[in-house]
Structure 1
Amino acid sequence: MMIASDVALSPGAYIEIRRGQQTVIGRVVWQRERFSGVRTQDVIDVEALLREPRLQQPAQRRNPDMNPSPVAMPANDRIAIEINAARRIERSQAISSRLQFSALCLFGLVAAIAIAMQVAQMLGNPMQQLDSALSLDKPQTTALVD
């Protein structure tokens, strides 16, 4: 499961995630910026987790002079930002996968053309010699050696 957290989670750390009455226990396996990958000990029932209502959080104080930090943002705004960030990451990974595949295909095509040219050159010289030796246009002289 991928989660976003305001606190940096280090790989190897065990975490407990609660939503309403649902509890998910897992271990952080990777971390990049605010996002972390968690391997859970049990299978997650996503539908039940999404249906579970959130518990009310105490209202956070806001200072109008300061820019709102991600922690001070309303939960819906923070979720929207995190969803957009996750989508951008997925798009970037998809684009990089396509570019990597294209580069690999191009490399394979260039290698195949180079090999074909080498084979054609290697087989071309003996074939020219055979063609000239078997040509009927020229009178052939044969030398007999005693």
Structure 2
Amino acid sequence: MMLFTEVRGLPVLPQAAAGPLGTVASLTVDVATGRVSHVRLRRRFRFRFRFRKETVLSWEAVQAVGPGAVRLRSAGALDQVPPGHDMLGRQVLTDAGAGHGTVLDVAFVPETGRILAVFTTRGEVVAGRLLGLGDHALVVRAD
């Protein structure tokens, strides 16, 4: 088990011995499948006048996630996908409209990307209760 906060900021390393492609900015979750679907990374350009750019990698491109880095199967797996929603810091609402705090962290299985639990300011929410994630909130099934 790993936490999203442990992965954020890790270097993303290609399979070859080249330098890092960037650092993990966030993980995108497909709530319908209960899995991490993409890794969003912040890339750095060599020129000072350029800004950082965010790139998205499919979870299938990830070979291993460890405490020191995210290693890729292939460096050519950059995706162009619609914007994702970062779960960390997102408000949590039940399907009945009641507030359930704010997301503090998410536990997942690094080998598969399967979500185990979401930790909120009001307690733990098991992955089976996740219903949707949008601009405003993470929606979960009421107890």
TM-score (norm 1): 0.24
TM-score (norm 2): 0.24
Highest CA radius of gyration, 1 or 2? 1
Tell which has more relative contact order, 1 or 2 (C-alpha 8 A, sep 6+).
Answer: 2
| Greater share of strand | 2
